């Protein structure tokens, strides 16, 4: 239970974007990847009054954030009290058949605040994690209820 709401461990929304919205996001994702490769970006849920999403990917990430915040029963005021800790992280992965097989995949990992882990050794997971596929290619998504990560222990081929 989260905020009094019963939440399933996994929920899938198929075809939740219109074809034109999917095409626009895919185009923006390709542009983002060409500029930043695998970099991740953070978008605070509440920004200054005059701040607007800088691109369609930020707008989509915030729409997804507010969709789930609403499902959890969070008000805008409750989210605002969390400051910049409330928001959405997004990143783009692009794989093509021209890439060597070794570089096509994303290593096994789980979602966490990388900066808090690196800077303070704190392992903090997001309350809600999402994955959006903009095409029908790519590896499947594996969802576990609990990560098997212990600080200081690294297994070959397994990224935290």
Residue 146 has pLDDT above 80, yes or no: no
Q: What average pLDDT does the segment 11-16 reach?
A: 85
Q: What average pLDDT does the segment 119-134 reach?
A: 87
pLDDT of residue 68: 92
Q: What average pLDDT does the segment 57-85 reach?
A: 92
> What are φ and ψ of residue 20, in 5° steps?
-70, -40
Q: What average pLDDT does the segment 11-34 reach?
A: 90
Residue 21: its H or E element: helix 19-36
pLDDT of residue 143: 79
**pTM across the whole model:** 0.79
Query: Quick one: pLDDT band at residue 18, thresholds 50, 70, 90?
Result: very high
Which residues have C-beta within 8 Å of that of residue 92, sequence separation ≥ 6?
29, 32, 33, 36, 38, 57
Query: Quick one: pLDDT band at residue 76, thresholds 50, 70, 90?
Result: very high
Is residue 107 a contact partner of residue 158, using CB atoms and an 8 Å limit? yes
pLDDT of residue 115: 85
pLDDT of residue 160: 45
């Amino acid at each position: 239970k989260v905020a009094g709401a019963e939440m399933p461990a996994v929920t899938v929304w198929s075809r939740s974007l219109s074809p034109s919205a999917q095409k626009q996001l895919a185009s923006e994702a390709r542009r983002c990847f060409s500029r930043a490769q695998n970099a991740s970006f953070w978008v605070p849920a509440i920004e200054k009054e005059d701040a607007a999403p800088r691109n369609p990917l930020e707008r989509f990430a915030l729409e997804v954030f507010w969709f789930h915040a609403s499902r959890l029963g969070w008000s805008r005021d409750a989210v605002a009290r969390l400051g910049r800790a409330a928001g959405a992280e997004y990143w783009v992965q692009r794989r093509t058949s021209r890439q060597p097989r070794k570089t096509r995949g994303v290593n096994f990992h789980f979602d966490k605040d990388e900066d808090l882990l690196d800077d303070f050794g704190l392992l903090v997971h997001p309350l809600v994690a999402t994955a959006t596929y903009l095409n029908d290619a790519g590896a499947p998504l594996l969802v576990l209820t609990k990560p098997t990560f212990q600080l200081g222990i690294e297994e070959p081929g397994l990224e935290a």
